């Protein structure tokens, strides 16, 4: 136990050392360059971060912008879950459906979500709906692919047990396929959320948006306020890290049964 | 006595590549309530396929399998225990055992299910492990849970496909005795269960079986039927036991 604690502390210390080194190099470089339009001082970035409710550059506050981005991400992400999981279950359970849809999916999958922006604007106009669409496109494929893989990973013997007890097809999917595939689907959700979070920031940077962390960064860039950009990036990082932590905690909580075997 | 299972002229063909392969040809036998029927034969002779057909997991090409009193819906009359336990890892032991009961749509109340599962946990001596998950149990315990899950629907036939092959010799012996005990308990409970057990192990067959069916190579047909008239409990060191074991071995590798 003591040994474990020591190991954990040493691991944290090593991680912190690199972060502190990075910040020191940054600060020294900022002092040498001495130009706020190229490299802002850490103090200026921190000032923005510790005033999260203060209006930034005459617009929304840091927190307000973060809330806008989070709301967009959650909307797009949940839409992607609602569509990708059922389609994934369908494909995973039927070779016939798979042979129809697989080529189409493989063709669209490599297209970067942000490349859909012109179409998105043409179809949904500038703003919320377009951003949701981009996030949807980004989150959709990781969820879909993992759902299909998850279903493929369900052991035949488990479905045999369901059939032996005369489960209907729907019961088989509900009681065996979904729970058996869920750990892999969950990994897909985790990856998809990270992609969605990147998509929202990129989508908000495009012209026509008026709120969100991506917008705030772009707006600050136009005004040459690099300390705001730095603060925005830190918030993006923290939220991304927090979301990933939640997914990992969920994994440990819901899928402990994966155990050793 | 009425059989609980009648297999008549059973035939099964698999297509492997361009070749058709006859697994069985005209296989016929009966199983009776409360008996232990061991099925032996060389590897690949279709023993597992036979059990899977009885469990309804494989289609029948020719002939018939009839299980008197099975309406074809509702709880299965033939329940199977697989080679490796095939428990659902996401359910605890109690929920694994009640799985078949929760599926059967014949109005079993929650309370009945709960009582029945408790009885079964008792029977397979896993009561104190009911909240454990499969990964927390040993191989033998998992296999006992799998037996309890199959018995939950009160089947007339318990199908066991080499259920002990993955276990160490001591656990194996313990579970063999457990099977005998479960069979006696089911009979005493007025739900006699016929046990069809596929095994590679002649000693196991002679230790457990009332009758032993030996299947020939593909296409499999019955090439030997032995009634094991030995008193129980059987001792593997007895001269008669050894003789039976020799006879069975001779039939299988003939």
Inter-chain contact A165–B104, Cβ cutoff 8 Å?
Answer: yes
From A157, A165, A256, residue closest to B82, measured CB to CB: A157
The three-state secondary structure class of A117 is helix
Which CATH architecture best describes the domain B5-67+156-252? Answer: 3-Layer(aba) Sandwich (3.40)
pLDDT of residue A16: 93
Task: Please calculate the CA angle B42-B46-B51 and round it to the nearest 5 degrees.
Answer: 120
Is B100 an interface residue toward A (CB < 8 Å)?
A: yes
Chain mean pLDDT for chain A: 92
What residue of B is the nearest CA neighbor of A181?
B90
DSSP-derived secondary structure letter, A94 = -
**A163, A166, A179 ranked by CB distance to B90: nearest:** A179
C-alpha–C-alpha distance, residues B206 and B247, integer Å: 10
Q: Scanning every residue of chain A, which has its alpha carbon at the shortest distance from the alpha carbon of B56?
A: A164
Q: Please tell me if residue B110 touches chain A, with a CB cutoff of 8 Å.
A: no
Interface of B with A in 174-203 (CB under 8 A): none
Q: What is the pLDDT of residue A260?
A: 54
Nearest-Cα distance to chain A for B168, in Å, is: 18
Query: Hey, are the CB atoms on A166 and B56 less than 8 Å from each other?
Result: yes
Q: Scan residues 25-54 of B and list those with Cβ closer than 8 Å to A.
A: 52
Question: From A170, which residue of chain B is nearest by alpha-carbon distance?
Answer: B103
pLDDT digits (tens, 9 = 90+) for A63-103: 999 999 999 999 999 999 999 999 999 999 999 999 999 99
Half-sphere exposure of A257 (CA within 13 A, CB side): 19
Query: What pLDDT, on a 0 to 100 scale, did the predictor assign at position B76?
Result: 72
B55: closest CA of chain A, how far (Å): 6
Q: Specify the 3-state DSSP secondary structure of A55.
A: strand
Flag whether residue B79 sits within 8 Å of chain A, measured between CB atoms.
yes
Percent of chain A with pLDDT over 90: 83
The DSSP secondary structure of chain B, one letter per residue, reads ---SEEEEEEEEEEEETTEEEEEEEEEEEEE-TT-EEEEEESTTSSHHHHHHHHTTSS---EEEEE-TT--SSSS-SEEEE-SS----TTS-HHHHHHHHHHH--S---HHHHHHHHHHHHHHTT-GGGTT--GGGS-HHHHHHHHHHHHHTT--SEEEEESTTTTS-HHHHHHHHHHHHHHHHHHHHTT---EEEEE-S-HHHHHHH-SEEEEE-SSSB-EEEEEE----SS--TTSHHHHHHHHHHHHHH--
What ipTM describes this predicted complex? Answer: 0.90
A106: exposed, middle or buried (Cβ count in 10 Å: 0-12, 13-18, 19+):
exposed
The confidence band for A19, taking pLDDT boundaries of 50, 70 and 90, is: very high
Nearest by CB to residue A163, choosing from B57, B90, B149, is: B57
Cβ of A162 within 8 Å of Cβ of B103? The answer is yes
* Contact indicator for B227, B247 with CB cutoff of 8 Å: no
Domain boundaries of chain B, sorted by first residue: 5-67+156-252, 88-155
In a mutagenesis test of the A interface, which of B103, B113, B145, B159 is the best target, namely the one with the most A β-carbons within 10 Å? B103
pLDDT at position B69: 74
Q: Which residues of chain B have pLDDT under 70?
A: 71-75, 105-107
What mean pLDDT is predicted for residues A136-141?
Answer: 96
**Reported confidence tier of residue A261, pLDDT bands at 50, 70, 90:** very low
Question: What's residue A29's pLDDT?
Answer: 95
What's the rounded mean pLDDT across residues A47-59? 88
Contact A166 B76 (CB under 8 A): yes
A168 CA to chain B: closest CA distance, Å?
A: 9
Out of A157, A164, A261, closest to residue B135 by CB: A261
User: Which residue, among A257, A259, A260, would best test binding to B if mutated, counting the most B CBs under 10 Å from its CB?
Assistant: A257
The closest of A215, A218, A213 to A232, measured between CA atoms, is: A213
Judged against a pLDDT cut of 70, whether residue A52 lies above it is answered with: yes
* pLDDT higher than 90, residue A58: no
Closest B-chain CA to A164: B55
Q: How far apart are CA A79 and CA A93, in angstroms?
A: 22
Q: C-alpha distances in angstroms, B66 versus B2, B6, B154, B173?
A: 12, 5, 18, 32
B74/chain A closest Cα distance in angstroms: 7
A166 to B73: CB separation less than 8 angstroms, yes or no:
yes
Q: Number of Cβ pairs closer than 8 Å across A and B?
A: 70
> Considering CB atoms only, which of B134, B136, B153 is closest to A165?
B153
pLDDT in tens, A242-258: 999 999 999 999 999 98
pLDDT score recorded for residue B145: 95
B135:A163 CB<8 A: no
Quote the pLDDT of residue B38: 96
């Amino acid at each position: 136990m003591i040994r474990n604690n020591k190991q954990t502390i040493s691991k944290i210390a090593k991680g912190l050392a690199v972060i502190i080194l990075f910040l020191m190099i940054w600060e020294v470089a900022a002092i040498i360059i001495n130009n706020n339009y190229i490299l802002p001082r850490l103090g200026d970035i921190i000032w923005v971060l510790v005033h999260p409710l203060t209006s930034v550059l005459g617009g929304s506050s840091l927190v307000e912008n973060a809330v806008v981005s989070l709301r967009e991400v959650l909307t797009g992400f949940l839409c992607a879950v609602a569509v990708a999981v059922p389609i994934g279950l369908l494909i995973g359970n039927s070779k016939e459906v798979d042979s129809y849809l697989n080529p189409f999916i493989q063709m669209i999958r490599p297209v970067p979500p942000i490349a859909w922006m012109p179409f998105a604007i043409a179809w949904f106009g500038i703003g919320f709906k377009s951003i949701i669409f981009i996030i949807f496109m980004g989150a959709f494929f990781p969820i879909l692919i993992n759902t299909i893989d998850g279903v493929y990973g369900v052991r035949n013997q488990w479905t045999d047990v369901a059939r032996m007890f005369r489960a209907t097809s729907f019961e088989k999917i509900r009681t065996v396929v979904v729970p058996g595939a869920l750990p892999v689907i969950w990994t897909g959700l985790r990856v998809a959320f990270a992609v969605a979070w990147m998509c929202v920031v990129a989508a908000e940077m495009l012209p026509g948006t008026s709120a969100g962390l991506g917008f705030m960064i772009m707006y600050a860039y136009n005004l040459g306020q690099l300390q705001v950009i730095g603060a925005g990036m830190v918030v993006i990082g923290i939220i991304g890290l927090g979301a990933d932590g939640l997914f990992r905690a969920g994994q440990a909580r819901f899928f402990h049964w994966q155990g050793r075997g | 006595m009425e059989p609980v299972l009648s297999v008549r002229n059973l035939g099964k063909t698999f297509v492997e590549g361009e070749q058709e392969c006859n697994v069985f040809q005209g296989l016929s036998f009966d199983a009776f309530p409360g008996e232990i029927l061991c099925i032996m034969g060389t590897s690949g002779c279709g023993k597992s396929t036979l059990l899977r057909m009885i469990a309804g997991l494989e289609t029948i090409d020719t002939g018939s399998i009839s299980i008197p009193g099975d309406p074809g819906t509702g709880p299965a009359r033939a329940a199977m225990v697989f080679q490796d336990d095939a428990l659902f890892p996401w359910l605890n032991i109690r929920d694994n055992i009640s799985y078949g009961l929760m599926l059967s749509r014949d109005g079993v109340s929650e309370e009945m299910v709960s009582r029945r599962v408790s009885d079964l946990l008792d029977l397979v001596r896993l009561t104190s492990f009911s909240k454990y998950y499969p990964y927390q149990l040993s191989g033998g315990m998992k296999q006992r849970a799998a037996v309890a899950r199959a018995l939950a629907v009160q089947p007339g036939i318990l199908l066991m496909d080499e259920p002990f092959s993955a276990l160490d010799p001591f656990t194996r012996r313990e579970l063999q005795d457990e099977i005998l005990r479960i069979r006696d308990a089911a009979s005493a409970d007025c739900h006699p269960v016929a046990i069809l057990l596929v095994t590679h192990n002649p000693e196991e067959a002679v230790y457990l079986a009332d009758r032993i069916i030996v299947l020939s190579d593909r296409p499999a047909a019955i090439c030997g039927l032995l009634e094991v008239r030995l008193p129980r409990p059987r001792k593997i060191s007895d001269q008669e036991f050894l003789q039976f074991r020799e006879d069975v071995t001779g039939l299988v590798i003939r």
